[in-house]
Structure 1
Amino acid sequence: MPSAGQHTYRTDLTWTGNLGTGTDTYRSYRRTHEVAAPGLPAISGSADPHFRGDADRWNPEQLLLAALSQCHLLSYLHVCAVGGVVVTAYTDQASGTMVETGDGGGRFTEAVLRPVVQVASADMAEQAIALHERAHHLCFIANSVNFPVRHEPVVTVAGA
């Protein structure tokens, strides 16, 4: 039985890329798959096109970056609500860098989140910038990766 504060997550993955001969050769199969979780729509996944994947499907590297961006958003909205900063809009154009290793593997070397936050009034702008650090500290996903996650936030004021 999980202890208080412990959470377990589950996903279901199904490979859909068998073209009839399985993994007979490196080129004989597609990297397509479906990721699902109970009660949620499926995510169509593949490898990055560089690794023989399909460009019209999400790849694991994009999903990792999306998870970092989502987690920061949710942590940030929380600390703003608790801290009295009224956020009225939020976007992020995140990027991540992955390098391949000589053995065919690879790893992310960094991710950069670029949140553009709109706040309700000018007197909230300074605190809105500062709260990104607190949000980063609280982000479950950022705390789980072994590469730096940097932030380049911009704050604007509604109606300005």
Structure 2
Amino acid sequence: MSNEHHYFSRITWTGAGADGTKTYKSYSRDYDMEMAGKIKIPGSSDPAFRGDATRHNPEDLLVGATASCHMLWYLHLCAVNGIIVTGYEDKAEGIMTEGGDTPARFTKIILRPHITITPESDADKAMSLHHVANEKCFIANSLNCPVVHEATIEKK
């Protein structure tokens, strides 16, 4: 038996200004993203594509979604495998390539989590759980680019 989960978001373009899309430069790329009962996310395109650098862009959100999905699976796997994690920070990076004969696309996402575990926890087991977390991550499983891990583990 399989389960379906449905996720909804409402995107409202707020950048029409006086002229809308009369020209490529006449409109703002600003929008609001809303999910019922949650904080509104102000969005825009990346500044390289005439967007507002102070707002979230789809590329940032994709990298953040990938990193947070991996973290949540990793924490779950540590909890059920007796690894006590006391700290987790990831400085994730997404690499998008444009130009040439193929459409612009992400070619790699690199997760760089720094995990702190208790002295009694098994560091080798903790490291191996990144592979399992990647296999289970809903977002990573939905991407067509590799997600690689450069994890570090500290006992404290």
Task: Give the structure-1-normalised TM-score.
Answer: 0.93
In the alignment, which of 95, 119, 144 is matched to residue 97 of structure 1? 95
Report the equivalent of 1:132: 130
Query: Aligned Cα RMSD in Å?
Result: 1.5
How far is the alpha carbon of 1:32 from its aligned partner?
A: 0.2
In the alignment, which of 27, 30, 33 is matched to residue 29 of structure 1? 27
- Partners in 1 of 2:2 and 2:106 — Cα distance? 32
Unaligned stretches of 5+ residues in structure 1: none
Task: Give the structure-2-normalised TM-score.
Answer: 0.96
Q: Does 1:44 align with 2:42?
A: yes
How far is the alpha carbon of 1:102 from its aligned partner?
A: 4.8
Counting only pairs closer than 5 Å after superposition, residues 1-160 of structure 1 correspond to structure 2 as 4-102=2-100, 105-158=103-156
- SS across alignment from 2:122: helix
- Compared CA separation, residues 104 and 51, structure 1 to 2 (3 A): farther
Task: Give aligned-pair identity as a percent.
Answer: 47
Q: Which amino acid aligns with 1:40?
A: K
Q: Which moved more, 1:116-125 or 1:5-14?
A: 116-125
Aligned residues of 2:78 and 2:85 also touching (Cα < 8 A):
yes
- Partners in 2 of 1:53 and 1:149 — Cα distance? 26
Q: How many pairs align?
A: 156
- Compared CA separation, residues 6 and 65, structure 1 to 2 (3 A): same
CA offsets 1:4-34 (integer angstroms, 9 cap, x no match): 5210000000000011111000000000000
